[in-house]
Structure 1
């Protein structure tokens, strides 16, 4: 009987278990943790998003992997978890942002938009016949000239952050961010920090495996080209596989020269 009672709470999307848990929300969080990580960093100049967007197959078009999205000229978002669920939330956020401009003639606030989205997410944990969204979002942008960064998880809780991560490898990546983030960080340093934080969990990736975007007051939402990502990749102290192979070849060449020199000495 105890097992059947447990299954009843397990299947209910809007029921609390006797120990105060909603299992479906916890399962949705688990779905997010299985997704590729996305990092958000608040800097003195704006907000930085860095997401892992590595293709799962060489036959897949890398451009079709969308982890970062523009919500408005001053707003961007990064996602983790189920892609289809994330897209529904992103479309909702875009409609609300556009509606705010049409209705009030001004840009929507970062906090206001985040709470609108999280209110919608929370409804799916309270009503029967629905399931929680299996996705999390980072929403960041400029509000009254100041950069702000929020995270929205499947429970519908909005939290403001200086730097955070959603998706897999959270423990390692968040630990790196907590150690390295400083007040007054520049935008370029924020990009480097985001890349280095992802490397704290998995360092086997190339600049082309990353999607990077920034939101500043001067430029608005901007997708960072791969050439600039590669520069930040190197500035963060990371190397590509090609560079590692070149170093190995140089080492092998040096060893070969050393052995040849030793043989010459023996002949003399």
Structure 2
């Protein structure tokens, strides 16, 4: 990192001689100090989860949500600076509303990720703004069947949408992660925040690309992964927030919703049990090593 005072980190719109934008790199550091957020894309939906650190005992439980609904079928979770995250969500809702106004259909997950990636990238170009101090994970379930357009009167054209191949499958679950630079990729499992390395290691163990796991299994895995990622900050209390999105024939009927309390509590119970079991195994291993010595 360049030393303070060289000038290359004072403006958002200046590259250093080796082609780095330090303001963006500092924004990434802000994200790395935030609570862990993850997203899991499974065969029948998407699960979003976040480790919400409780900074004061006076805070109301369940308030200050870190997961937000952008459109009926789209949700966002973010790590980093909360005000930046709230502005990101407001802008994403504007984009979704604009898409509906123009095209009379819900925005697809990939189009929302593209528009928000462009918006974040624009905040790395000008001196009058600064980069967003968040990394956002966007999850959605695009409709697989042909839906009536907003405000449609009558049956509409019998041939359906033009240019569609009847043998091809459309829609389904999608997951994108958008970084402060505006870079975004599609993922089967994504993690960001302080515990991202531990969370990524756990996500890579899951079968998300083959036969895949079900939505309910993904909820339980998401809870376990957040608890594993939180293990490095054991001294801090946290709340687990989770939401999910399924297809129209799934538990959420195509809507982005909070995971029901009973299922979330069951997932947390299993996560704590899994963590306790792994701690017991480590203790036994240490005792065995001592006896061998």
* TM-score interval (norm. to shorter): 0.7 to 0.9
Asked if 2 retains the 8 angstrom alpha-carbon contact of 1:54 and 1:62, the reply is no
CA distance in 2, matches of 1:12, 1:99: 32
CA distance in 2, matches of 1:225, 1:26: 37
Which stretch shifts more, 42-51 or 96-105? 96-105
The 3-state SS of whatever aligns with 2:131 is: coil
Equivalent residue number for residue 79 of structure 2: 80
Q: 1:169 aligns with which of 195, 198, 207?
A: 195
Matches within 5 A, 1:1-268: 7-145=6-144, 146-182=172-208, 183=210, 184-203=212-231, 204=234, 209-218=239-248, 219=252, 220-236=255-271, 238=273
Which stretch shifts more, 227-236 or 30-39? 227-236
CA distance in 1, matches of 2:236, 2:262: 12
Equivalent residue number for residue 164 of structure 2: none
CA distance in 2, matches of 1:53, 1:181: 26
1:212-234: CA deviations, max 9, x gaps?
10011222111113321111123
Distance 1:108 1:3, change over 3 A: closer
Asked if 1 retains the 8 angstrom alpha-carbon contact of 2:32 and 2:193, the reply is yes
Asked if 2 retains the 8 angstrom alpha-carbon contact of 1:124 and 1:132, the reply is yes
CA distance in 1, matches of 2:108, 2:54: 34
The 3-state SS of whatever aligns with 1:13 is: coil
Asked if 2 retains the 8 angstrom alpha-carbon contact of 1:176 and 1:197, the reply is yes
CA distance in 1, matches of 2:237, 2:23: 36
Q: Which runs of 4+ in 1 moved over 4 A?
A: 204-208
CA distance in 2, matches of 1:62, 1:12: 39
Unaligned runs of 5+ in 1: 242-268
TM-score (norm 2): 0.76
CA distance in 1, matches of 2:192, 2:140: 17
Equivalent residue number for residue 287 of structure 2: none
Mark the structure with the bigger radius of gyration.
Answer: 1
Distance 1:211 1:8, change over 3 A: same
Q: What is the number of equivalent residue pairs in this alignment? A: 239
What is the deviation of 1:205? 9.4
TM-score (norm 1): 0.83
